Every structure is written in structure tokens, then in C-alpha cells.
Structure 1
């Protein structure tokens, strides 16, 4: 049986445009670096699965954090531009474009769940190969994975409001309600999300990036204390 295509939907991690909610805590440059680390971790795991990988990309990669590393990771993969107005339409079009005549189905993820394991993809792929829709629910009410045995089913996403507290439930409803559900995971939307996710994958680029920021923040706090008292407290 032919393996499905693994579709990664990604946005160039440009400071000021990437992970803006994370940036409220750690600043634009750190948020972009975290987004880049998440994307690189996601691509490393995705390519390890052994399926065809397509990356639907938007944004100016030349302005992105870790641009050279990302270009290198993308080099052996098929990269397609996102097209459409709004996230829902871009997702539907990405499924159609990634399929490119294949009838083996699509397993789609975003770039902000770097804690995924190869086993997560394989579970989704087996479900799709058996002809069922599979959804990976997120703790915020959205979803981190969507597997479709027929890529044309993604057209139903255009009627779903994305990034809402009920996006997951509305996606399942739009797809007919009969889906297989994977484990629930946390998306990386805030700094607290990044810290928690990094703790689940200690050997990863996202964990390294979070550790550097925590160390930098601790050093800054110590410097502030020294400046105020004249000596370390």
C-alpha cells in the first residue's frame, strides 16, 4: 500500500511576524528563533518517517531566523507556496496542491508542534491508509494534525473558522463527524507553551532555544539585582 504524503504547513519565522503571542513575553527575535527551531524539529521528524514530504510555505524566508538552516532542511523536500485568502482556504489549497494526483491521502501538520514523534505520524498514516479521517486535537480547542484519505475532503475546511476555541469540533463536524482521534497535544502559542513543550523533548532544537532564553533571563535578573544592591543578593 502506498504511503500518504506528509504535508507540513509553515510560515517563515520572520521577527515581528512569527509567534507574536510568544513575542509578548520574550521579544520578536527570540520568538522568531523559537519558531525556526520548532520548524526545523518538525522537518527532522517528518523526514524520518520515510514518506513523501511536501512543505507549504508562506513568508519571506530571506528575512527569517535561521534562514540558512531552514533552506538546507528544505533542499531535499518539495516546497510549494501557500495560496488563498485566510488560513482555512490556504489549508484546503495546500492539501490539493500536495496531493498532485496521488490517491494515497494526506497527513498534514503545522510547524509549531515539535514534540511530535515518528509514531504519531505512523498512527495517522495507518488510519488514512485504512480509509478513515484522523484528527490530532490540541488543548486550545484546535487541532495539530489532520489526515485525509481523500485530499479533496480538505475543501470542507473553507467553512471552518480557524484559530478559535471550537476549531477542532467544527472541523470534525465539517468532515462529517466520523473521525479517528489521536492524543491531545499542546500547540506552541505562548512562551509557557514553548517551555512546557521543550520539557517533553529535551534533545531538540526547541529545547536548546528555550534553555538559552531561560539562562539569559536568569542572568539578566541577577544583573538587575546586583545593580540595585551593589552586590549579588
Structure 2
């Protein structure tokens, strides 16, 4: 296992083969997405933010030399998803548990003929592009790639068709701080080569949203930041009173 610091990310390895990035999204129904954040800022506001989070993640993915595939839920929301995240390829998530849905998505990608697949969520709108570039480079080098998140889960997971390990989706305590450690234990048990990316954070709470807003004041403004700039008083000031 190789821990990677932010400063040590390089672009020395070429991206080879036929690769794709799987982006998992939910239809942005109030009360169905960003529910922890919704308890603080309201479900309507949280759902609106989620639409921009996902759009910003997709903008980043479209800068990679791979094909993004949108895996959506629920499975009757295709038209809404296609209107929201335009111009992509769309596949319904299948399975009840998160692990079942991710396992099916990887299987689907490999059935389509892709040699490398990287799955990412839609909770980190400022996820650095170079993290994902490094992930693809390490996939091309035959590594299993895992991007750990600060809450104990992961923001990215990647396999090649040859090193795919579906066991990582079984027996995991999803939505807990144990997800990363349990996943690594399974990968090590099955003797998979592991490359860990730098740790990043999801936005699930008001404090994390405030952190995102403060860290992204400079530079090109994303859709998420534009929304927060328009509504910062209602979101940050009123929610603290």
C-alpha cells in the first residue's frame, strides 16, 4: 500500500487502455439527498446545492481523458437526470444496498469492454483534478486505487478488469467510519496492489459547507460557489442563530 501526499502527486505514468469514470448520483429530490445537511439548512436548499455539487464534479470529470458514465437512482429518473447532467451516458443503479449498486456498476463497465473503471460520488465538488489524474495513471499501472475521505469512507475507488475484487462490496458497514479500513482489509486479504490517494472531504454538514466556501473564495468560481455566494446570508448566518 502506498500513501500519497498531496505534494508528491506526479503525472509520470501514462493513462493507457480503455478507461471510464463512473459517477454515482441520485435524483435531487428534497429529503432524499444531502439529508444531514438538510436538517440544518432545509431540505429544499440542500437539494438545490446537491444539483450544483454534481454539476461541478461532472465538469471536473469531463477534463479527464476518459468517458464519464452516469449511474443514477431511482431507476425511473432517467429523463430528469439527462436534463440535469446533459450530454452523457446514463445507466440506472441496480440493487438495494450501496455495495450491490457499486458492484453492479463495475460489472456493467467491464461488460461494456472498459479495461479500467474509477467510481466517484457527487459529495466533493472541489475534488482536485490532479487526484483523479493520478488515480487513472495508477489504474493504468495495474493498481487498485482508493481515495480515502476524512469521515472514514472513500471518495473514489478504481479497478482494472484484471484486479477487480467484488468482495469489497460485501460485509461493509456502509455510512460509518469503518468503510475505508474494512475495504483495505479485504483488498489486502485478496492480495490486491493498493494505491491510496490523498485524503479529501465530503460535504455533509454545515461546518463542511462553510469550509468549502472559505477554501474556494479565490480562483474560478464554480456553480456551487456561485449559489453559496448568492445565498450565504440565509445559509451561514441564519442557520447559526
Q: Which residue number corresponds to residue 172 of structure 1? A: 184
Which range is displaced more, 203-212 or 41-50? Answer: 203-212
CA–CA separation in structure 2 for the residues paired with 1:82 and 1:62: 11
Q: Contact 1:142 / 1:164 at 8 angstroms: preserved in 2?
A: yes
Q: Which residue number corresponds to residue 19 of structure 2? A: 4
What is the DSSP-based 3-state SS (H/G/I as helix, E as strand, rest coil) of the residue aligned with 1:159? coil
* Deviation digits for residues 121-172 of structure 1 (CA, Å, limit 9, x no counterpart): 1100000000001111111100001011237423431222211111011111
Q: Which residue number corresponds to residue 187 of structure 1? A: 202
Between structures 1 and 2, the one with greater helix share: 1
Aligned pair partner of 2:227 in 209, 213, 229: 209
Q: Contact 1:7 / 1:107 at 8 angstroms: preserved in 2?
A: yes
CA–CA separation in structure 1 for the residues paired with 2:204 and 2:238: 24
Q: Which residue number corresponds to residue 165 of structure 2? A: 153
Q: Contact 1:88 / 1:161 at 8 angstroms: preserved in 2?
A: no
TM-score, with normalisation over the residues of structure 1? 0.84
Instruction: Give the unaligned 5+ runs of structure 2.
Output: 1-15
Query: If you compute each CA radius of gyration, which structure gives the higher value, 1 or 2?
Result: 1
What is the DSSP-based 3-state SS (H/G/I as helix, E as strand, rest coil) of the residue aligned with 2:95? coil
CA–CA separation in structure 1 for the residues paired with 2:141 and 2:237: 53
CA RMSD of aligned residues (A): 2.4
CA–CA separation in structure 2 for the residues paired with 1:181 and 1:195: 27
1:61-76 matches, cutoff 5 A: 61=77, 71-72=82-83, 74-76=85-87
CA–CA separation in structure 1 for the residues paired with 2:18 and 2:114: 10
CA–CA separation in structure 1 for the residues paired with 2:160 and 2:174: 21
CA–CA separation in structure 2 for the residues paired with 1:169 and 1:184: 13
1:4-23 matches, cutoff 5 A: 4-23=19-38
Pairs aligned (count):
217
**Using a 3 Å threshold, how does the CA distance of structure 1 residues 174 and 188 change in structure 2: closer, same or farther?**
same
**Using a 3 Å threshold, how does the CA distance of structure 1 residues 220 and 37 change in structure 2: closer, same or farther?**
same
**Using a 3 Å threshold, how does the CA distance of structure 1 residues 220 and 190 change in structure 2: closer, same or farther?**
closer
TM-score, with normalisation over the residues of structure 2? 0.81
1:76-225 matches, cutoff 5 A: 76-150=87-161, 152-176=164-188, 178-202=193-217, 203-217=221-235
